[in-house]
Chain A
Amino acid sequence: MKKRLVDTKMVPLPSVSIVPERDVGKRPVLETRHLGIEFGGLKAVEDFNIAVGPTEICGLIGPNGAGKTTVFNLLTKVYQPTTGTVLIDGKDTSGMTTEQANRMGIARTFQNIRLFGNMTVEDNVRIGLHNQIRYGMLQGVFRAPAYWKAEKQMHKRSLELLSIFGMQDMADVKAGSLPYGAQRRLEIVRALATNPKLLLLDEPAAGMNPHETEELMQNIIKIRDEFQIAVMLIEHDMNLVMGICEGICVLNYGRIIAKGTPEEIQQNPAVIEAYLGSQGREENA
């Protein structure tokens, strides 16, 4: 049994999923219905149904190539699904663009880090704040009072957000020259800056040492508590997944093979076979 940092009672929803007890009766922040996508005949994701409570930390796991990142790309509209729909906060997002999905309240990080590497750490966060603190192009070009006011606000807010991960002292560093772990954390900060309702983290602990991972787990819980948002994360590090996720969804070959609490997932024979099993065999060998 892995060490648990959270202790939540999970309750089944009548429709498809389980949510934390505290989220019962609230509208799920994310719901998918029969979501699927094909790449030239290959069904990368098929009949994907899930509901995520508004303050849930939810894990999406599965072996390499199972379709986890593809699910994130479907949720954020990087790919348009071939079947099914995604509802964010109850609203259908069919036909929306990635940008519109973000405005609806869905923000993400990337498995292969996608920072604006030539810009400073602070500018990366400021770009995240783009739709939160605004002024017009001409106000910017002619340096109107609105420009000074908003830029000052952005500066303050950027440092606040960076301080979640204690990164406020690196504000002037070029993002591309940060160590790997810090880049992952910066991506989370940038996503948070867009004021999301649902934060998608694609392998946030990849490349981090155990100490950094431990800190990250604490911080994910802190973010959820402070911002009162839902977090959905893809991760291969089972300590992290079992440590902080309240509900877990397991994918294999593009299909959900199990959904449940960490305890249920760890005992599920199909999961052990498809995923934990192979690892277990490695560990035993």
Chain B
Amino acid sequence: MKINKKLRSALVTFAIVIIAFLVCEAGIEGWVDGFKLKFAEKGLLVPICCYIVLAVSLNLIVGISGELSLGHAGFMSIGAFSGVVIATWLEKAVLTINDAGKTVPFFGDTAIIIITIIVAGALAALAGVVIGIPALRLRGDYLAIVLLAFGEIIRNVMNCVLVAVDGSTMHFALKINESSAVGFGQGMQMVINGAQGTVNKVTSAAFNNERFIIGFGLVIFTLFVVLNLINSRSGRAIMAIRDNRIAAESVGLNVMKYKMMAFVTGAALAGMAGALYGLNMKTVTAVDFDYNMSIEILVMVVLGGIGSIRGSVIAAAVLRFLPEKLRFLNDYRMLVYAIVLIVVMLATNSPILKNFWALLMRVKPLRVAVEWLQALPGKVRAAFSFGKNKNGKAGEAQ
């Protein structure tokens, strides 16, 4: 069977993610002697999964749909905060009696996290619809600025939200100034405490392999959705609108519909990542999700290559891991990080380095070797294909 180029590229992306996951699992479980992940490294795994999802979903909006968004952290924030509330409610309200006659949460931890991720994703999608309908009518820089403002509005609103739980009842309030909402939540367990952020009592902050597996599952799900979307009727429409809006309209594509589709899908995935992120931390605060975080995600997308899903996956993982690896540099850590970033940007955009490969190919022995290697799969296939009808049309092409 002929595997087409797009499918092969998608399979390679999945393979990279799965292999990376297995290597991490080996390091966690100690499958191989002498290879064990350090405590700090393990702590990075779930956030890395979240950032991969964020980068891929932002790439759907920026790279595939071609709309610059500077407010992606806003959707993550919605996912993170609503996630903690949903998870708390699931734990408190949906109870069952176990064998020992005790009342316990109906759901296990894993189920709570998965349900929470799904619901939080739906809420972020809703926010995507609400913000997308007016904002996507704007183009280019104007859209970017509106989305930047959206991210900041979410941050400021989340800074004022108070949520407490009393038994299984949730209480909500807005703390607009010092005198409002005084005495709110007295004697109750706080879930979101304004500027102090979330109080997550559902999941422990310690590294938990199950949560990492959920994170891995979320990455796979995201890749599945985004790659399949790209290689479908809707995805082609999204990219056609990006490449040439007038031509796309002239063949009957509904521009708003497909811009919304990419935007809302991106928002939903970001919300899902946010929910997992929020549940993985003891506490997250609204200021965590400011425009710096939106920019950080955008850097991952740009570094990995705008429109390249695999690039986003790799860039997100590397950029989250790098600062950890640079820890030995102490105070110079972020400086070196920034320099590495600049160098990589320059290198990937430099025509000299782009031509490096072409230059190498001028060396005859190398060229012969590479050509031989490239021809190898074909030779192998030819050797194993029996009785295939070969009325090739190659001669007729010109």
By a beta-carbon cutoff of 8 Å, the part of chain A in contact with chain B is 76, 78, 97-99, 102-103, 107-108, 110, 114-119, 123, 126-128, 130-131, 134-135, 137, 140-143, 147, 150-151, 154, 169-170, 190-191, 193-194
Contacting residue for B250 out of A98, A135, A154, CB 8 A: A98
Beta-carbon contacts under 8 Å, B236-283 to A: 236-237, 239-240, 243-244, 246-255, 261
In the bound complex, residues from chain A placing their C-beta under 8 Å from that of B236 are: 119, 123, 126-127, 130
In the bound complex, residues from chain B placing their C-beta under 8 Å from that of A154 are: 233
Evaluate contact between A191 and B251: CB separation under 8 angstroms.
yes
Given known pairs A114-B246, A118-B243, A169-B396, the reply for A137 and B251 (CB within 8 Å) is no
Evaluate contact between A169 and B234: CB separation under 8 angstroms.
no
Evaluate contact between B232 and A130: CB separation under 8 angstroms.
no
Evaluate contact between A99 and B254: CB separation under 8 angstroms.
yes
In the bound complex, residues from chain B placing their C-beta under 8 Å from that of A191 are: 250-251
Looking at chain B's contact residues, the main secondary structure is helix
CA distance A140 to B249 in the complex (A): 21
Q: By the criterion of a CB under 8 Å from any partner CB, how many residues of chain B are at the interface?
A: 28
Given known pairs A102-B250, A141-B225, A142-B228, the reply for A119 and B243 (CB within 8 Å) is yes
Evaluate contact between B251 and A128: CB separation under 8 angstroms.
yes
CA distance A137 to B231 in the complex (A): 11
CB distance from B166 to the nearest CB of A (A): 39
Evaluate contact between B243 and A190: CB separation under 8 angstroms.
no
In the bound complex, residues from chain A placing their C-beta under 8 Å from that of B375 are: none
CA distance A117 to B243 in the complex (A): 8
Count of A-B contacts judged by CB separation below 8 Å: 92
Is B229 on the interface with A (CB-CB < 8 A)?
yes
CB distance from B105 to the nearest CB of A (A): 31
CB distance from B61 to the nearest CB of A (A): 15
Evaluate contact between A147 and B253: CB separation under 8 angstroms.
no
Evaluate contact between B253 and A99: CB separation under 8 angstroms.
yes
Evaluate contact between B232 and A140: CB separation under 8 angstroms.
yes
**Minimum CB distance partner of B396 in chain A:** A169
- Contact bitstring B80-111, A, C-beta under 8 A = 1, else 0: 00000000000000000000000000000000
What 20 new A-B contacts, CB under 8 Å, besides A78-B249, A99-B253?
Answer: A76-B250, A97-B249, A98-B249, A98-B250, A99-B252, A99-B254, A110-B247, A114-B250, A116-B248, A119-B240, A119-B243, A127-B251, A128-B251, A130-B252, A131-B252, A137-B261, A140-B233, A141-B229, A169-B393, A194-B252
Contacting residue for A143 out of B228, B237, B248, B393, CB 8 A: B228
CA distance A176 to B141 in the complex (A): 27
Beta-carbon contacts under 8 Å, B348-398 to A: 393, 396-397
